[in-house]
Structure 1
Amino acid sequence: MKYVFWLTVFFWWAMDFYILVLKRNSYSKILDKKSKFIVTILILLGVALAVGPENFRAVWRSRDFGLFQVVGTFVVLTGVILRLFAILTLGEYFAPDIAVKSDKKLIQRGLYKKIRHPSYTGEIIAFIGLAIVFQHIPASIYISILPTLAFVYRAFVEEQKLAQEFGDEFIEYKKRTRMFI
């Protein structure tokens, strides 16, 4: 089961690295760049505090992969799969920045039919899964709370920008959907 955990984490982080660093699309209008920086800092801070010197032994000590680690692994996997489906649903409209293409379109199908931010929801779920795997209260708090705050902040910024871009269409969409699960 440890291998499933590490493969899941590797796939998750490789996917996010690709999205943040390597994915370059042409967008006619980038609406916000600052929030991506803030999200990245909060995630890195959460990870650094969770696995840093003070918590390192408690989090990474050699132990059997017990029930909490199995459950946590499946929670991480669920979050990663949710994020992947959200990205695939957006297709060419997905961007690491809050941006719109020249043929701007508010996607309201698939996961986006019920949830406005399934990609961020997937990330939050995955970080909560890591917290379950860690089984160490301080590390679990850092690895789950800071990224969650980051994605909630990002969702609020994105919603302000989308409301400006799409007006009444976004307001109506917002009324019939949830921000997260």
Structure 2
Amino acid sequence: MDNYSNIYLAVFFIITFLWVIEIIKFRPEVADGQSKKTFYQILFSIVSSIVLTSVFFFSDTFSVPSSLRPFFINIGIIGYAIGIFVRLWSRFELGKYFSHHVAVDIEQELISKGPYKYFRHPLYIGLFLLTVSVPVFTFNYGGLIYALLSMKYSLSQRINEEELEMEKVLGQRYIDWKKDRYKIF
């Protein structure tokens, strides 16, 4: 392996380390009434995407041609880096309102700074980028197709659940807030 590849692998492992630290440091604390269903759907999508991509990678199944691999590696590491940046920035902006599960408090502040100035769910955008960037980085189109479909489905379910709960608890305040922000999924 050349130095160029070693640098990419080091960056990939550093980002993965940051992602794992984010998961460990901000472990889900489930209060009464919080919905856990979509959390487990998303977790299953992430884990199954990574496992399937690993199986495909190590068996050299569904790999792109050798000539396209440097392009995929570059796009994968860029997407991975953007994903962790957006995820951590969004997590920081949410502060005490962050939860791995759907939880809405009537007194909850609606965050309108950072990535929340433009997007309704930047945490999920970051998570999507992190997950789909793994098969891109490993130049595996089979894993990429699975990750895209699985994460799109899981995140759409979560966003629908979350938005219904926000509208139910926060009412017009949330409806007005979301009008000025893009919904990605």
Do residues 173 (structure 1) and 177 (structure 2) align? Answer: yes
CA contact (8 A) 1:55 1:138 kept: no
Per the alignment, residue 58 of structure 1 pairs with 60
82-91 or 165-174, which moves further after superposition? 165-174
Deviations 1:130-176 (A, max 9, x none): 23212122122223331232112111111111010110011111221
Per the alignment, residue 152 of structure 1 pairs with 156
Q: CA deviation at 1:101?
A: 4.3
Q: Give the % identical residues.
A: 23
Q: Counterparts of 1:82 and 1:153 in 2: how far apart (Å)?
A: 21
Q: Counterparts of 1:30 and 1:115 in 2: how far apart (Å)?
A: 26
* Partner-residue secondary structure (3-state), 1:99: coil
Residues 121 and 132 (structure 1), Cα distance of their counterparts in 2 relative to 1, 3 Å cut:
same
CA contact (8 A) 2:45 2:150 kept: yes
Amino acid at match of 2:80: V
Per the alignment, residue 92 of structure 1 pairs with 96
TM-score by length of 1: 0.82
Runs of at least 5 residues in structure 1 that lack an aligned partner in the other structure: none
Per the alignment, residue 109 of structure 1 pairs with 113
CA contact (8 A) 1:114 1:178 kept: yes
Per the alignment, residue 45 of structure 1 pairs with 48
Runs of at least 5 residues in structure 2 that lack an aligned partner in the other structure: 1-7
Q: Counterparts of 1:152 and 1:100 in 2: how far apart (Å)?
A: 18
Q: CA deviation at 1:55?
A: 4.8
Q: Counterparts of 1:130 and 1:140 in 2: how far apart (Å)?
A: 8
Amino acid at match of 1:11: L
The count of aligned residue pairs is 173
CA contact (8 A) 1:121 1:180 kept: yes
Q: Which runs of 4+ in 1 moved over 6 A?
A: none
Per the alignment, residue 9 of structure 1 pairs with 16
Q: Counterparts of 2:134 and 2:51 in 1: how far apart (Å)?
A: 13
RMSD: 2.5
Q: Counterparts of 1:136 and 1:163 in 2: how far apart (Å)?
A: 39
TM-score by length of 2: 0.81
150-159 or 103-112, which moves further after superposition? 103-112
CA contact (8 A) 1:79 1:125 kept: yes
